[in-house]
A and B are shown apart, each in its own frame.
Chain A
Amino acid sequence: MSKKGNLLLSLILAVSMILTACGSNNGGGNTPSTPTETSNSNTEGEGKTEAEQTNLTLWTFVQQHADFYLYMADEWNQANPDKPIKLVTENIPYDEMHTRLLIALQTKEGAPDLVDIEQSKFPNFMKGEVQLVELNDVVEPELSNIVKSRVDIYSQDGKYYGVDLHVGATVMFYNKEIMDQAGVNPDDIKLWSDVEKYGKIVVEKTGKPFITFEGAGNWSWWPAINQLESDQVSVDGKVMLDDERNIRAMTFFKKLVDEGIAAIAPGAGHDTPEYKAYMNAEGAASVFMPFWFMNRFTDEMPDLKGKIIIKPMPAWDEGGNRSAGMGGTGLSITNQTKHLELAKEFLAYSKLSKEGNIQVWKQLGMDPIRTEVWTDPAMSEPNKFTEYFGNDIFDTLLEVKDEIYPVNIREISPQVFDSVRNEIIPRIFQFGEDPETVIKEEADKLRKSLP
């Protein structure tokens, strides 16, 4: 090989290595497997040695969650100097974390003390002998103070196994500028039928679709049928995709798409880079997504700052529900923990206490499950969310507080959700098939294949 060739090759290699290094951070923005510990700075008392601290390990798949737990651990140590903990969090990518946890629980080795389990993965951990610890003694006393459906998701046979971080109340995000341009007041849109009426005006005046739906995801159909107090899986764990109400909602959505009032989100989902680029460039006038979608706006759609307002969802019928609790992650304790009591106390402190719930908003910008804190003065302190969406965020939430119907997550949920995302929604929205036929077909197919 000539010298020139060598030089060229090494140059190309060097460039590719740099590119590879840059790229590896793109996978959801997670830095995989980076254990982080609580700072020891707060162990002020000289007499305290590290030996007295109890080690607790925690797995999560979101760095922000890890940061939140570390913050709460420091707070705990200050409030409970007699039983300090040393929290070690490990941030592992979503799929890998859940897979690793399954294997650790199956083989009875290597599981952490505490673990964040995502809602749609939870049914897997309810199979066989449950390897998670029952949390009834810490959850039950708080049931009247929290949105109960957010612990019901993580329960089986009356036993609670996890506590959610947030409510995930679904709200409408309107682009005020586009609405003003069309001369439509978002407050006039009270029912889904109004969406058709006013949506048409928006499309005519601005040439932009009024709303977008997910083309291969569940964040459009599911909240809409939840408003109708229906679901995709029934309370007793059976397929109920083809319920009348579900077909009603989907048929109406399909009509909106056919009329050009609604568009299918670019990238086929709302949490995709394609959609965010489209929305950031004022692609559509509105979208409805759970509360946690707020940080996608602040972080990934910066050009819309000051233009987006949050309102309740339109109801299906007069007096109907105007929100739905969607998505979520439950914190659980595995039966491999050696410090059960302390782990439970810490879980209750960070997820159920007032202090913890205020921090859920302050640190993560999510709607806490403890409803009393929604009116707490701490919630109206300025932060990046109030700067972006205005100061009345929790007013909207309080309005719909009692209109959030629980969702059913059961053993067959992973299969049913996959069928919705990969069969039903694409067939209707991407290939234009008839909603009723598709939904009935897929429901039958699932009934046949599931035990």
Chain B
Amino acid sequence: MHQKKSRFRIGNSQLIAPYIFVAPFILSFIIFFSYPLFQAILMSFQSVLPDQVTFIGLDNFKKLNNPSFYKALYNNFRYTIYTVIVLIPIPLILAVFLNSKMMRLKNMFRSALFLPALTSVAVAGIIFKLVFSELDGALMNTFIQWLGFDSQKWLYYPGLSMFALVVIATWRWIGINILYFLSALQNIPKELYEAADIDGAGLFSKFYKITVPLLKPITIYVLTITIYGGFAMFTESYMLWGSRGSPQDIGLTMVGYIYQQGFQYFDLGFGSAIGLVLLVITLGVSMIQLKFMGLFGKED
């Protein structure tokens, strides 16, 4: 009787209860994030082989000074910039259209645009590989022939293959970004537009003066995940070229490079070092972007 009461008291205690509630998160964070991160830092200073784990100082980081690493970094930067250019404005405009009262077949477009997010990337990869195939009958080549150009070997030239990667990224993420913008749009009070109408504002000035500024928080969020997605890109490239890599590393990304060095050449220590550098880069870019967006300013 007495025991039951005290247990009840502990569960109800204002001191302990918060810890119990956050425990699942803290535990999973420690097990699945902190520990691997710590381990990766440790491994980046080691040569890791079965029964032969030795500390080798900064050797892994010295190895980073090679053309493949720079190529991967360059590819990631380019890809991130392009995806940011495409994946912010287009979903935003599409979301405005989908939110508009005048739009017809709204639900059909909403589901059609969101559908790619539900499709398996593995399946989509196979389809896109065929779409960008070098054969004359492939979809992209048929299309550009119709425009009067010659067939292209899409997956051999840096510019063309980057285009292919950005097309896949657009197809894959556009629906999700639209969803973010749509939900934000629905939170903008209608009164603002009504007031603007009374003041005689046009369609465009309403978009620039009301919609865009009020979407700023969600835009920052979408920008952050797009940048992160750009640096973490692996699947799209893996689907187009497979595990054997792309000709002249045109599709090599940082994560692809980790995979190649860690698992295909079995150099887990070097893989960890690349991972750490990637972490530092993404963290740095995100910080700069957040600072630029004024997110570190004092909250009013």
Tell me, rounded to whole Å, the shortest Cβ–Cβ distance linking A445 to chain B. 8
Question: Is the C-beta of B163 less than 8 angstroms from some C-beta in chain A?
Answer: no
The contact size tier of chain A is 35 or more
- Beyond A8-B107, A9-B107, A418-B244, is A16–B119 a contact (Cβ under 8 Å)? yes
**Inter-chain contact B134/A422, CB cutoff 8 Å:** no
CB neighbors of A among B249-277 (8 A): 249, 260, 263-266, 268
Given known contacts A16-B115, A23-B126, A418-B245, A127 and B266 CB-to-CB distance under 8 angstroms: yes
User: Which of the residues B118, B119, B123, B263 comes within 8 Å of A102, measured between beta carbons?
Assistant: B263
Chain A CB within 8 A of B51 CB: yes
Set of chain B residues within 8 Å of A418, measured between Cβ atoms: 244-245, 260, 264
**B216: interface (CB < 8 Å):** no
Tell me, yes or no, whether B77 is within 8 Å of chain A by CB: no
Q: Are the CB atoms of A266 and B119 closer together than 8 Å?
A: no
> For window 2-27 of chain A, which residues contact chain B by CB distance below 8 Å?
2, 4-6, 8-9, 12-13, 16, 19-20, 23-24, 26-27
B135: interface (CB < 8 Å): yes
A127 near B50 with CB under 8 A, answer yes
Q: In A102-138, which residues have CB < 8 Å from any B CB?
A: 102, 105-106, 108, 124, 127-131
The answer to whether B107 touches A1, judged by C-beta atoms less than 8 angstroms apart, is yes
- Give the residues in chain A near B266, CB-CB below 8 Å: 102, 124, 127
Contact B156 A426 (CB under 8 A): yes
Closest CB in chain A relative to B103 CB, distance in Å: 12
Say yes or no: B50 contacts A422, CB within 8 Å.
no
Query: Within 8 Å of chain B (Cβ to Cβ): is A421?
Result: yes
Do residues A129 and B134 form an inter-chain contact, with CB atoms below 8 A?
no
A20-B123, A106-B268, A274-B134 in contact; A12/B111 too (CB < 8 A)? yes
Residues on the B chain within 8 Å of A9, using CB = 107, 111
Whether A422 pairs with B244 at a CB distance below 8 angstroms is: yes
A140, B76: Cα distance in complex, Å: 51
Q: Give Cα A105–Cα B263 distance, bound, in whole angstroms.
A: 13
Q: How far is the CA of A360 from the CA of B131 in the complex (A)?
A: 38
Q: Is the CB of B248 within 8 A of A24?
A: no
State whether the Cβ of B246 lies closer than 8 Å to any Cβ in chain A: yes
Asked if B186 is an interface residue, CB under 8 A from chain A, the answer is no
Q: Are the CB atoms of A267 and B134 closer together than 8 Å?
A: yes
Residues of B within 8 A of A16 (CB): 115, 118-119
Question: Is B123 within 8 A of A19, CB to CB?
Answer: yes
Q: 30 A-B contacts, Cβ less than 8 Å apart?
A: A2-B107, A5-B106, A5-B107, A6-B107, A9-B107, A9-B111, A12-B111, A13-B115, A23-B122, A23-B123, A26-B123, A94-B243, A98-B263, A102-B266, A124-B265, A129-B51, A268-B134, A268-B156, A414-B264, A414-B265, A418-B244, A418-B264, A421-B244, A421-B245, A422-B248, A423-B247, A426-B247, A427-B248, A430-B247, A449-B66
Chain A residues packing against B (C-beta within 8 Å): 1-2, 4-6, 8-9, 12-13, 16, 19-20, 23-24, 26-27, 94-95, 98-99, 102, 105-106, 108, 124, 127-131, 216, 266-268, 274, 414-415, 418, 421-423, 426-427, 430, 445, 449
Given known contacts A24-B122, A95-B243, A105-B50, what 5 new A-B pairs fall within 8 Å (CB)? A9-B107, A23-B123, A23-B126, A130-B50, A422-B244
Binding site for A on B (CB under 8 A): 48-52, 66-67, 106-108, 111-112, 115, 118-120, 122-123, 126-127, 133-135, 153, 156, 243-249, 260, 263-266, 268
